Amino acid sequence: MALPDNTPSIPLGEEVIFPEIVELNVGGQVYITRYSTLISVPDSLLWEMFNRKSTKGLARDTKGRFFVDRDGFLFRYILDYMRDQQLVLPDHFPERGRLQREAEFFILPELVKILAPKFSKQNSLGDEGCQSDPEDSSPGIDTGRNLASLGTAACASLVPSGDGKRSGFITIGYRGSYTLGRDSQTDAKFRRVARIMVCGKTSLAKEVFGETLNESRDPDRPPERYTSRYYLKFTFLEQAFDRLADAGFHMVACNSTGTCAFAHEQTDDKIWTSYTEYVFYRE
């Protein structure tokens, strides 16, 4: 079933110098759209460009396409908005600020309002509705709008039971080494931990380890995504275990593998290198 065409029609008897299908070159990206789409938002920049009586003064590329010197990749969202006056962005869209600047350039005030940052005047739930939790999986934009209209009562039903902490797994892994001499006595510094790795959901890792979590190897990781590239700024396993216990996690499994090599050919001292993982879970 075909969707109804909401684009404005061209009045009968009015002379149009532009073709029904228009080719655009925006920053090197080629777009093909209907003329009625380009003039769908009155007083916008594209409306002014393509609502004139002459094409004189409009820049063109070598193939005769109308040229606009703007970000060609972001223009796809500008064009989508002009088709039906709605904006749908990918989850965790990183260039919202730049897209707002493009909307200002193309004189689309309603789109600028949609893209403008929203600041809540109060932290608690109230008349503003339910603020979405950035640490949770992001629902679609339509779903987010529906949640915002539900009110405080509906928001309360979305909060996890108990103390509000989310369940999940966190895996702690580390490589350690120790020396075993001929008398089977381990060295006093038997456990040398170079780095403690953290694997699991980003939101849980940040909740438990906070500022002690080194995120430089996996920056800008979305909260609901999983990572195995975080590590801790300290090297004491007991400190990691204490933080997990304080957050309500308990150990459910562990495993370890090791390799052996002789420290010196003339002695019986052996260097053992092991990799160990501990799996923690919170209900």
Q: Are residues 108 and 172 in the same domain?
A: no
Of the residues 99, 115, 131, the one at which a domain ends: 115
Of the residues 115, 133, 160, the one at which a domain ends: 115
> For residue 251, what are the β-bridge partners?
280
Q: Are residues 101 and 174 in the same domain?
A: no
Is 259 a member of any domain?
A: yes
pLDDT top residue among 254 and 10: 254
Read off the pLDDT of residues 159-182 as tens digits, 9 standing for 90 and up. 444 456 788 999 999 887 766 665
**How many residues are there in the chain?**
283
SS3 per residue for 73-137: CCHHHHHHHHHHCCCCCCCCCCCHHHHHHHHHHCCCHHHHHHHCCCCCCCCCCECCECCCCCCCC
Q: Are residues 111 and 172 in the same domain?
A: no
Is 240 a member of any domain?
A: yes
Lookup: tokens for 228 = 């195995």
- Which pairs from 185-193 meet CB under 8 Å and 24+ separation? 193/235, 193/236, 193/237
The CA distance from 141 to 121, in Å, is 22
CATH number of 78's domain? 3.30.710.10
Residues 274/258, Cβ–Cβ less than 8 Å: yes
Range of the domain at 224: 168-181+190-282
249 pLDDT more than 90 = yes
Is 145 a member of any domain?
A: no
Of the residues 115, 144, 160, the one at which a domain ends: 115
Give the range with max mean pLDDT: 5-19, 93-107, 163-177, 246-260: 93-107
Is 161 a member of any domain?
A: no
158 pLDDT more than 50 = no
Amino acid at 79: L
Q: In this predicted structure, what is the pLDDT of residue 16?
A: 59
Is 249 a member of any domain?
A: yes
CA R_g for the chain: 30
Q: pLDDT category, 57, cuts 50, 70, 90?
A: confident
Is 60 a member of any domain?
A: yes
Output phi, psi for 169, to 5 deg.
-110, 145
pLDDT top residue among 256 and 82: 82
The CA distance from 32 to 269, in Å, is 74
Q: Are residues 203 and 268 in the same domain?
A: yes
| Chain centroid to CA 214 | 18
Is 102 a member of any domain?
A: yes
The CA distance from 232 to 195, in Å, is 7
Q: In this predicted structure, what is the pLDDT of residue 183?
A: 55
Nearest to 237 by CA among 179, 177, 189, 192: 192
Q: Are residues 269 and 173 in the same domain?
A: yes
245 pLDDT more than 60 = yes
Q: Are residues 173 and 97 in the same domain?
A: no
Q: What percent of the chain has pLDDT over 90?
A: 40
Q: In this predicted structure, what is the pLDDT of residue 192?
A: 66
Q: In this predicted structure, what is the pLDDT of residue 175?
A: 82
Q: Are residues 173 and 240 in the same domain?
A: yes
Q: In this predicted structure, what is the pLDDT of residue 275?
A: 83
- Mean pLDDT over 93-120 rounds to 88
Number of separate domains in the chain: 2
Give Cα separations from 160 to 83, 156, 168, 195 (angstroms). Answer: 39, 9, 13, 34
Is 84 a member of any domain?
A: yes
270 pLDDT more than 90 = no
